[in-house]
Chains A and B, each alone.
Chain A
Amino acid sequence: MNETEIRAIFLQELGNIAPEMDLQRLDAYADLREALDIDSMDLLNLMTALHRRLGVNIPELDYPKLMNLDGALRYLGDRLK
């Protein structure tokens, strides 16, 4: 899977959780929790959705690596290599 595809899926899943947000304007380095008003339940739902869509099992200890768009795409890209 290439980076564009991963990005599209990640943004789609973010959009399912915070549909009111304009994700086109999301700062790649902003903390997702603050930028998108995402709470712990939303976060768990996001990780579950990513697992379902990408087949990547994300251990709890790795969550901090996915807290901004840039980090998340890099993490998922590495895992899907």
Chain B
Amino acid sequence: MEWRRIIKSSKERQDANLADYEESVRQFSWDKARALLDGLPGGGLNIAHEAIDRHIASGQGGKLALRWIGRDDQVRNFTYGALGAAINQFANALARRGVSKGDRVFSLLGRTPELYFVALGTLKNGGVFSPLFSAFGPEPIKARMEIGEARVLVTSEAFYRRKIEPWRKELASLKHVFLTECPGEPPEGTIDLRAAMVDCPATFETVGTTPEDMALLHFTSGTTGRPKGAVHVHDAVISHHVTGRFALDLKPGDIFWCTADPGWVTGISYGVISPLSNLCALVVDQAEFDVERWYRTLEREQVTVWYTAPTAIRMLMKAGADIARRFDLSRLRLIASVGEPLNPEAVAWGMEAFGKPIHDNWWQTETGGIMISNFRSMDVKPGSMGRPLPGVVAGIVERLADGGVRAVETPMTKGELALRPGWPSMMRGYLHEQERYRKCFAGDWYLTGDLAMRDDEGYFWFVGRADDVIKSAGHLIGPFEVESALMEHPAVAEAGVIGVPEPTVGEMVKAFVALKDGHEPSESLRKELLGFSRKRLGPAVAPKDIAFRQNLPKTRSGKIMRRLLKARELGLPEGDISTLESEER
């Protein structure tokens, strides 16, 4: 079905930060973007300074920076000045314990105010901040903290007891654990964060960092091997700032609600850094998704820019557009979505429910910021991710047998989405994984692993993944990580994990398991394996469904052919099976 193009009015175009796409692309340079930021007073660049301190220095410390809404509806407001003070206290708490430049500080937190103190306080102290998703189980957490050589962890007492304490002694690099929501005596070897901060002064001189100093470590998953830690540097703030202006139309004073969890890159790049650098007020809701609560929050907080995700939009859709219209959402200027492609039905539904299209955009952990986007000033073609940001060159390429690539120029031809490196928030490497990093590049291109097409107007259209990673509720899941956990069970001989399409969350993790001799498939064993993997991996990564097989399809070298498992599960053509050596039974 052909979806009708959504035409933008001339008023909409004039009011937008990026009023004329072609003109902006022509005029843009990263040096001009850099000039929008201040830099450290003594030279150098630090994300925390651009997000907070420069605003305080220019007399805007009284402006609202963060409005936090608790699960029980209690509200805590932080001005830029107050947030800056808390950030300084945390930076002091780190420095006082000898935590210094380059040290990795991890967080495993829900949506709490402490997350903001910790993220920016770490950066101010010259450290590297790495967020973890709180729906991870102990194994994904441990793997990431090992790779990242965590020196400090900030988490809640409940998470600590369930997910960290049992293995903590195995991680020698971990020296300090700060706990939130810790009403009693903190467990042995931990520090009550609140007490530690109260004890510290509210002023702190930002540790001198250069644009190329490591600032953020964001983990992502590949098809094989361990999770990859994408390294980002302080220079990334230039991308965060300017893409927020262009793609999200952020203006000073905006009330901005990014619903992404701070355990993932979106929750940091656009849940913290970009809006603060643009002098906006963040709305943060601690509670889980709830249809009426979300509309009420949009209305009551008078949210002007809303950045959310397809899974949430599809859940709102299920509840119906009528409910949206019961609320006064007239302040809402722009709605954007990221995490996975937004289906055209959802874009059209946005028109019905809000009288506005939902602007899909595309980027990934490695790119650090939005690369391709629909803009406020630009017509929306439902189902398209939009056009490249000014300063970003995107193309469709075809991989060649010799390891090189060739650009595909014919419109609407499927190929791999590729980008010309050079924007500031591009990852500088995968930590300790030079070879995997190198493999992301061919010719002059960074290869994204996504398949896409470009139409004759330069709009990009997502087609699928080039590899086996699974995208569920906007989160990337590496099948290998799931398979490895299942293989730890004494009954499991082999495991193959795929994503099965699911209308609300995009893909659902499904595992195929072959048992060792002496074990028989049964409903109780299936449940045992489900529980076993949930305990280790957490609900965000563990399979939702497990099916038994006598044998999984494998290549001659013993590699499980996930692609074939998936094709058969979905009833799709099996494609090239010349490498199939051991057939599925």
In the docked arrangement, what's the CA distance between A21 and B315, Å? 27
Bound Cα distance from A64 to B319, whole angstroms: 13
Q: Is the CB of A41 within 8 A of B473?
A: yes
Residue B290, interface by CB 8 Å: yes
Instruction: Quote the shortest CB–CB distance from A61 to chain B (angstroms).
Output: 6
A5 interfacial contact with B, CB 8 Å: no
> Would you list which residues of chain A between 9 and 59 have a CB under 8 Å from chain B?
15-16, 18-21, 33, 37-42, 44-45, 59
Cβ–Cβ contact B527 & A42, under 8 A: no
Q: Chain B interface residue count: which class?
A: 20 to 34
Given A41-B504, A60-B318, A61-B319: A19 and B530 within 8 A (CB)? yes
Question: Which of the residues B137, B319, B527, B538 comes within 8 Å of A19, measured between beta carbons?
Answer: B527
CB–CB A37/B135 < 8 A: yes
Q: Determine the residue in chain A with the shortest Cβ distance to B536.
A: A20
Q: Is B544 an interface residue (CB 8 A)?
A: yes
Q: Is B569 an interface residue (CB 8 A)?
A: no
A20-B534, A20-B535 known; A41+B505 contact, CB < 8 A: yes
**How far apart sit A33 and B532, CA to CA, in the bound complex (Å)?**
18
User: Is B125 in contact with chain A by the CB < 8 A criterion?
Assistant: no
Once the chains bind, are A42 and B292 in contact (CB under 8 Å)?
A: no
**Number of contact residues on A: which range applies?**
20 to 34
Contact of B508 among A16, A20, A21, A41 (CB under 8 A): A41
A18 touches B473 (CB 8 A): no
Whether, in the assembled complex, B293 has its beta carbon less than 8 Å from a beta carbon of chain A, the answer is: yes
Chain B contacts for A61, CB-based, 8 A: 291-292, 319, 323
Closest to B506 in A: A41
User: Which residue on chain A has the smallest CB distance to residue B527?
Assistant: A19
Q: Which of A37, A40, A60 contacts B311 (CB under 8 A)?
A: A40
B505 touches A63 (CB 8 A): no
CB-defined interface of B500-511 with A at 8 Å, one 1/0 digit per residue?
A: 001011001000
Docked complex Cα distance between A44 and B185 (Å): 38
Is B292 within 8 A of A18, CB to CB? Answer: no
Docked pose: A45 CA to B530 CA in angstroms:
14
Which of A16, A37, A39 lies at the interface centre, i.e. has the most chain B CB atoms within 10 A of its CB? A39
Tell me, in angstroms, the Cα distance from A14 to B377 when the chains sit together.
47
Interface 1/0 per residue, A57-77 and B, CB below 8 Å? 001110110000000000000
Cross-chain contact A37 with B315 (CB below 8 angstroms): no
Which residues in window 375-401 of B have CB below 8 A to A? none
Confirm or deny: B472 has a beta carbon within 8 angstroms of a beta carbon on chain A: yes
Q: Which of B65-124 contact A (CB under 8 A)?
A: none
Residues in B neighbouring A40, C-beta threshold 8 A: 288-289, 311, 315, 473, 504-505
Q: Which residues of B contact A15 (CB under 8 A)?
A: 527
Interface string of B511-530 (1 = CB under 8 A from A): 00000000000000001101
Q: Is the CB of A41 within 8 A of B531?
A: no
Residue B353 lies at the interface, judged by CB distance under 8 Å to chain A: no
9 A-B pairs within 8 Å (CB atoms) are namely A19-B534, A37-B135, A37-B538, A37-B539, A39-B539, A40-B473, A40-B505, A45-B544, A60-B318
Residues of B within 8 A of A (CB): 135, 137, 288-293, 311, 315, 318-319, 323, 472-473, 502, 504-505, 508, 527-528, 530-532, 534-535, 538-540, 544
